[in-house]
Amino acid sequence: MDSRHISERSSPDSSPCISWPSTPATHPDELFDDASFPSDNEQFVLVTGGLGFIGSHTVLELLISGYNVIIVDDLSNSFQEVFTRILTIANRHFLAIGGHCPKAEFHNLSYRDLASMRALLESHYPYSLPGVQRPSNIIGVIHFAAYKAVEESIHQPLKYYQNNINGLVDFMTLLDEFNIKTFIFSSSASVYGTLADGIPLLREEHCVHENLTYRDSDGVENCAQQGCTGITNPYGRTKFFGEAILSDLAKSDPSWNIVGLRYFNPVGCDASGLLGEDPKGVPSNLLPVTVKVMTGQIPELAVYGGDWDTPDGTTVRDFIHVTDLARGHIAALAATNNGNIKGGYRAFNLGTGTGYSVLEVVDAMESVSQRPIPRRVVSRRAGDVQCSVAAVERARKELGWETKKTLRDACEDMWHYLKHGGETGRLRNGLGPTLEER
């Protein structure tokens, strides 16, 4: 039986809300007419950009971990059907283990639409008795709603500063008004800039927002000074500035608990084959472009530079399976809510600690798929660095998190996604058959 219940409501400036309650065995007619209205004892996690690549996988892991979720996404780089896929996978999970899938709301709006966001936050602010102040039932926010294409940021810097910085400041001001002060920020390894070229493993202390001393892996004491070195593009600067703003906010008001998660290079997709990386625009990340080559949308893979000082001449990155990355957000949220984060702001690398070159990744995908992937070496791309690999001890010790999946797992999951009709945008636009049909 299809247990979905979809309700739509509009605030003065908002787009419709779609809400799926956690009642796998209940017929929709038995539910309240407005299923999107939360009860007083429910708690939710708000996820902006929750239908994008990393956001959708994080929403799925939140549901599997027992959290009710509110998704805000304007669909500028994602598809609404991703919401259906998330709930399908989550309901299958709970059907297999027993129990009920938590609730999920989807709001089709921009996090920068402050009137609509205010209405949304008000709807999750339980009524209080006279003289009794009750908190919001939103226990934390995970913020993914940022532009992220390095090359585009070089050509359109104002677009990135408006959304990633101005939008962040306005959003934090609104959350502060509603006393929602647990915040997980989507940051990036790009904050390390050109430091990445000279350091085998990038530590969180290599980019800090206040002076501190620390001991390296050899026990030698070092002094880290606030600031950054050689950030190569506006996207990376928006992440550094965003971290600095959040660090300043937490320092000024100790009631904030903020975590900045510095992603390295997420790849792969959920093992179900229903979720993948499917941007609306032209992809720039390695595996999405490789997918377009494999599906015949572009003739060959452009490899940006074959003369880097690496074993095979191509750039080296720390490729992390997106499911591991998503689990890192759940670990950060739990650690924050449990009071295990040191200070009001704390940054963590999310990576594997191992680097692979571009050609090694392409070779791994060829091995899994048993299909050749044409490639051609072209000139270096503006904004790239030679090598970027994470030191991961802080996340392991303080968040209790570490990766479980390998690069081959990521390639196998991506191949499974493609064989089962992945790339919803391609199929929707009639751009070619699935790989099973080719």
Half-sphere exposure of 185 (CA within 13 A, CB side): 31
Beta bridge partners of residue 303, listed in sequence order: 377
3-state helix, strand, coil in the chain (%, to 5): 40, 15, 45
Q: Is 68 helix (H, G, I), strand (E, B) or coil?
A: strand
Chain CA centroid to CA 351, Å: 13
Residue 178 identity? F
| Torsion sign across C-alpha atoms 107, 112, 116, 117 | positive
Pure H helices in 105-233: 114-123, 150-155, 157-160, 167-177
Is residue 235 flagged as an active site residue?
Answer: yes
Catalytically annotated residue among 235, 263, 304, 356: 235
Task: Compute φ and ψ for 357, nearest 5 degrees.
Answer: -80, 165
> Do the beta carbons of residue 48 and residue 168 sit within 8 Å?
no
> Do the beta carbons of residue 127 and residue 136 sit within 8 Å?
no
d(CA 290, CA 418): 12
According to DSSP, residue 39 is labeled: P
**Catalytic residue positions?**
235
